[in-house]
A = this chain, B = another copy of it.
Amino acid sequence: MRAGDLAAPFPTVGLDTPALAAARLLAGQNLPGLIVLDANGRPKTILPGTQVLRMAVPQYCQDDPALARVVDEAGASDVLQDGLADRTVAEALPEQRRELAAVDRDATALEIAALMARTRTPVVAVVDDERRLVGAITLDALMDRLVQS
């Protein structure tokens, strides 16, 4: 088994993708983040889900949770969608971008595990010879292959 066989489709966004669309991709998918592609379709970095929330939640709520306590669910939905409106994935990315772990299709399972361990990232991109995205491998999929009894 090589990386090319384990690679599964993984949601991607571009730098110009609306932040709200990225948030909707994250909703209900149980993903550690989204792979961000550059203009040439090459994987560039990972957009962590928490980073989308950091953009969406007003700073005063992050500083003082008590202020968030008085807002009901409908209000919360409005606040978050307002926070994301007219903004893009590029604006949501952290200043210190997370290293995008990537391997070629021939990488072994242990190589992928070593890369996840070293970079502390639960998702590794698999790329072809021209660094275009083939798919991705998540930590749980890898664990499923390697440690299931």
Contact = CB atoms under 8 A, between A and B. Distances in A.
Given A26-B140, A27-B143, A113 B32 contact: no
Which bucket holds chain A's interface residue count? 35 or more
Q: Which of A31, A141, A146 has the most CB of B within 10 A?
A: A146
Interface in A35-83: 48-54, 56-57, 61-62, 65, 68-73, 75-77, 79-81
A149 B51 CA distance: 20
A88 interface: no
B140 A57 contact: no
A143 B26 contact: yes
A69 B108 contact: yes
Contact of A27 (B23, B84, B144): B144
Contacts of A75: 110
A149 B80 CA distance: 12
A28 B61 CA distance: 35
Given A48-B122, A51-B120, 10 more contacts: A24-B149, A28-B140, A28-B144, A30-B140, A49-B139, A50-B117, A65-B111, A69-B107, A73-B109, A80-B147
